[in-house]
Structure 1
Amino acid sequence: MSTVVFWALVLAVLLFVFGSKVFTQDATSPVEPVVPSATGRAPAAAPEPARSGPQDSAARDAASSSSPAMPRSAPVRLRIPKIGVDAPFTGLRIGPSGALEPPPADDTNLVGWQSSGITPGQRGTAIIAGHLDTATSPAVFARLDELLPGDRFEVDRADGTTAVFLIDSVENFDKDDFPNRRVYEDTPSALARLITCAGGYDRKAKDYTENLVVFAHLHPGD
């Protein structure tokens, strides 16, 4: 994937996480709104990619040849047994505003992925987003913060294969200090990020104050 295309996709995902008001519910809702809900504080532009020299390129080539990866294939189901997740995927498009459209807010058991981006298991960073809750009940990623390094999750794919991911870390980030480059990094390895909202709920902004990100890599198999 070219550098220009990669950073264009990063910007679209950033707008999804930070910029859309689609998820906002009334502050009097029984359960507060969802993920990745907007803050209205979208970044002005995607960060510039780091420049790489010959040594960097050699290191990336070596990593690419040694890291496990799978061919491109659309995800169809996410399974995280530890927290009871067994949910279908929906493809997310970039809307007219330039933001990534969110999963339907009325479906509590659905995850989304940026369908023109990296597929889970493919080399690169695959983004999987899910709601924390809805106006009426907890949603698919309500227990995402219970995951720990070493836990696993699985993505069933359209080609009949299953991508198994091993979790490296589970971290919360203030939405005003989100580590764009780290989360959406361009990489020769097959990585995945699970993203939802977290932190306190700001009734004035009608949004959560943080994002929770699960960092994971494709497991090479036992």
Structure 2
Amino acid sequence: MTGTVAYGRDVTGTGKAGRSGSHALAVARACRLMDESAAPPNLQELAHSAGYSRFHFHRMFKTFTGVTPHAYVSVVRARRVRHELAHAPTVSDAIYRSGFNSNGHFYSASPAILGMTPQEFRSGGRGTVIRYACAPSSLGPVLVAAADKGVCAVLAAAGAPGRAVLARLFPLARLTAGDSGFAARVSAAVRRAEPPAAGRALLPVDLLEVCLHERVRQELSGPGAAV
């Protein structure tokens, strides 16, 4: 009999192992649904689609990813607004196309999303100084970059290749390696942001990277966590 496979992993089985596989598959499907939906579904819709109660689905999602469904929706919206800011005719168009319900909502969230003003982001970082540092993780190297308002990029890269990606994202910014204090904060944030063991065992690597990078942003954007 052929087993059920979730993104290359066999999740057939009974008991705890089988339930874990089924839960991981439900979480992965929910992430794909949020990634692909024009208007990301809310918690009730995600839980219903997965066949669980809101409470059970919320707990299960965080157990595997380390982030909440709401945080993952924020990741999707942030990714869209960064794309739209680079391509839309105006900032207002980018805000509307990204799903923000008001300019005020976007501008209150923009420092955590962009690390700089929307105008600076659209200009390729013109006039900004961006510090960066790299740290190891269970998923591979992570590069974290920060401008004057906060984290502006978290990349699955390191060294010269990572700096090259950063230069393509912000061609008009001045890039500089962060000092030892900055590097230490980045390393500590990456350690605290490691994906849960349950997720590392069963979720696709690309989803784990998204969640790891979001947790790094959270760690470096929280109260008293100035970068």
| Category of TM-score, reference length = shorter chain | under 0.3
Greater length-normalized contact order (CA 8 Å, ≥ 6 residues apart)? 1
Rg: which structure is higher?
2
More strand by share: 1
More helix by share: 2
Using the size of structure 1 for normalisation, the TM-score is 0.25
Using the size of structure 2 for normalisation, the TM-score is 0.24
